[in-house]
Structure 1
Amino acid sequence: MEAKDTLIRFLRIPSISATGEGIEDTVNFLSEIMKSIGIKTEIEKAGGNPVIFGEINVGSKKTILIYNHYDVQPVDPLNEWKHPPFSAIEENNRIYARGSSDNKGTLIARLFAIKDLMDKGELGVNVKFLYEGEEEIGSVHLENYIEKNKDKLKANSVLMEGSSLDYKGRPLIVLGVKGLLYVELSLDYGLKDLHSSNAPIVKNPCWDMVKVLNSLIRDDGNIDIDGFYEDIRNLTEEEEELLDQYDINYEEIKKSLGNFPMKYENKNDIVKALLTYPTCNIDGIDCGYTGEGSKTIVPHKIVVKMDFRLVPDQDPYKILNGLKEKLKSIGFSGEIKVLGAERPVRTSLSSEIVKATKNAAKEVYGDYIIIPNSAGTQPMGLFVYNLGIKDAVSAIGVGDPSSNPHAPNESISLDNFYKAIKHTQLTLINYSM
C-alpha cells in the first residue's frame, strides 16, 4: 500500500456533504485503510454523515487527538475545471482533484506518517482520530457528537485539520482560529409583492432593512453593538512579533483576491486586520426583482445573511444577544435565525504540540511561520472549550498558494504531500519525548 496510490484512489471517490454524493463509499474506503494500518476503527452515527473514530494505544502517558474531515465542497462551476474534478489526474508533479488540498491530502499524509512509524516500532504517543463528514456544511452535528463522547475523545493535545504553505514554501503553524456567528435577518410585510404605484402608502422592507444594516456599522468602520469589543483579548508582545514576521506580498494578495478594492495598503495593517480584527459582513441579500429589464414592484420580503468573524475571547452567543438588543432598540420587527456559532481560539506559543510542530517544521522545511490565529474558522473551539483540550494547533498541511481550495482546479504538489508525511512523523516523535 503506497501513499500516493491510496491518495489518488481516495480522491476519486466523491464525498460532497452538501448533496451526500459518495459519502457512504468514502467512509467505507477510509475505514478500511485505517484498519489495514492497524488502527482500531469505528464508524459511528452522528445525526448526519457518519463520524469515523480511530485509536492507537501504545501505552504512552500522552495522547494526541487528530481531527480531519473527509467531506469536500461541491465542484461548481464544472466548466472551469481543466480535468474532471474527481479524476485525480497527475500533471507537472501536481494532483488535480476536489478535496486534494482541503482536506483529503492532509488526512492521507498523516495516516501514512503514522503507518510508517508503526511499521518501524517508533510511534511513542497514543493517537486518536476523529474524521467527520460535515465540515464543509458547518459541522452541524459535531458538537453533539463531542458532547456524547467526551470520555472516548480525551487527549492531551489536538492537531486540527491542517494549514498550508506560504508563497515561499514555508509551513504555517496556526495557534488558533477566529470564531463565527452566522445569522439570517428577514422582514416580511405581506402576502405578495405589490405594484409600485402603492409605494406611497406601504412600507418597503428593503428600505427598512437598509436602515437596519447601516445601523450596525459606524462611519469609522467599527461595529455598533453594545459590548462588541469589550471581551477581546489583547495580543502579547510575542504574538505582536509573530504578526511582524508574517511576510505577505501586497500585489500577490490583491491579485489572489480578484483585485477587490483594498481597505489597507500597508503590509502590517493588512496582516493585523486579517488576523486580529473582528468583522460584521453581509454575505447576501435576497429581495425583489433582479432579472433583466424592469419590473415595478414593492417587494413583500427581504432576507439578509450575515456573518460576524470573532477574535479571542469574544463569545458568539453574547454577540448574538447584543445584536438582538441593538435590533430591538431600533424597532426591527423581523426574524433572526442563527445559522452557525463557533468560539474563537488562540493557543499558547509554549504549548507542547506547538513546540513539537515547529521543531519538526524547521527540520523538514528549513523554516516556518507561526500566526496567532487564522483569518477563518474551523471547529477548534469545540475541542478547546467542550472537551477541555487547551493545547490545540492547526498545522501540517499539503496546500500551497496555487491549490485553489473550494475552487475549480483544486490541486496539490506531490513534493508537499511527501513533506507533510515527514512533518507529521517528526511532530509525533518530538511530542513523545
Structure 2
Amino acid sequence: MKKMYVFFMLIVFLSITVLSENYTFIFKDVQLFYTVSNETSFLVPEGFDVLWISGVDSWELKKVYQHFPFKITSLEDYTQKSIEAIDEDIYKIVGTNEILFFNPQLNRWCVTDEKNKDKIQPPTQILLKNPKNAVIALKGEGSWEIIYEMKNDGTFSKNVQINGVPVGQTNLYLVNEYLNLSPRDYLESTKLLSNTRMASEDDFEIVAQEAILSQTYTMNLGRVNFQNSLMNVRISQNDILSYEDRNVINFSLYTNITNYTKTEIIRHVENTKYNGLGIELPSGKVWIHEEFDSESFPIKLAYINDTPVGDTFKINLGESWDVQYKIEKLSDVEVKSANSRIVNLLISVKNFSKDKQIVNLSMSTPNIEIDEMQIEGNYQNLKNNSEKGKIDIVFDIIDEVRIRMTIKTILRE
C-alpha cells in the first residue's frame, strides 16, 4: 500500500512538471511568455498582457477583485498633505501608513492601510472554454544585451544581461532581433503554427522556434529559474592567443590636417578556433581591462558589432596617447583629358613612445588607386594591401615616418 502511495505521488509530480512547462522568448525590446494548458482558468502573472490564445473554443478576461477594508474619501481631505505616486492612481500618504487609491468599481477615491497595497490592483484571470493543449501567449517588458570582457592576457568572457518579468522555471531563449520591427510576422506565424501543429504540449518548442527566422541569431539558455528582474549569466570564457592594436589613420581625398592630431587605437581580433575563440559574437558592449599594481580592472567601455565565426572583430579603444599624425594636401588637380583627379598628399606620423607601434593607413572610395608612393623614416614590416577602391597600408613605426602619396581616381566611368 505504501509503495502504491509513493508511485501515485510520483505520477502526480511528473504530471505537474510536464504541465508547468513554459517558454520565454526575450527579444531586444520585449518579452514573450508562452504556456500550454488544459485548465479552464489561468491567472495572468503580474507585468504581462494577453496577446492571444489558441486551442480553445472561446476565452474571456475577468478581473479578480480581492476583499480588503477601505473607506471612501475625498481628494480635498489631502490637499494639505504630501503624497508620493506608487502606481497609476495609487499614492502613499507621506508620514502615515495610509494608501490613497481610485476605486473604478465605485468610481470614487478611497483610502486603506498600506499592508493592503498588493490587493488594490486586481489580477486578470483568463476563462477558457474547452481547452485542448491551449497555447497562452503573454507579452511583458523585457530586453537583453551581451556584455563582453577582455583582459590584456587575452582572457575573453561572454556574458548576457537580461531584464524582464520573472516567471520562475522556464525554457529561456534570447532572440537577437527587435520584435517591434516585424511583430505581425512572428506573432501571426506562431499563432498559426500552434493551431495546426499542436498534437501535444511537447510540440510547442518546435512551433515557437519555427516562427523565428532561421537567419536570426537565437541563444538557448535551456531551462532557467528566472526569479529576478535583472539577471547576469556567464556564457563562455576563452583564452585569445593573439590580438593586434593598431593606430588607425582614416583619411579621404578631402583630408587636409596641418597640425598633429592623435590616431585612433583599434584592436583587431580574429574570431577563429586556432586563435582560441571561434564563437558566435552578437553585437554588445565590451569592457577592456587594464592592469594596475598587478590587478586587472575594467576601465574602458567599447562596442563589438555582430561577428560570425571566422571573421575579425574590431574594438575602438579611443585616441592614442603616443602616436600622432598630420596629412597635408600638396596638390589637387583635375585632368579633364584623362577624365581623372590626381591628389598629392604628405602624411607625417610620429611615435612618442619607446615601443614600436603598429600604424594602419586606411581609405575607401570607389575608383581610387595609389599612382605613386614614397616612404622614408624609421619603420619596419611594411605591408601594402591596397587595391582599386581601397588603401590599406600597415607598418611598424619606430619614431617618425613621412609618406608622399599620389592618389588617382576616375571621375566618371
Higher-Rg member (1/2): 2
- TM above 0.5: no
Q: TM-score range by the shorter chain?
A: under 0.3
Bigger strand share: 2
TM-score, normalisation: structure 1: 0.19
Q: Of Structure 1 and Structure 2, which has the larger fraction of its residues in helix? A: 1
> Which one scores higher on RCO, CA 8 angstroms, separation ≥ 6?
1
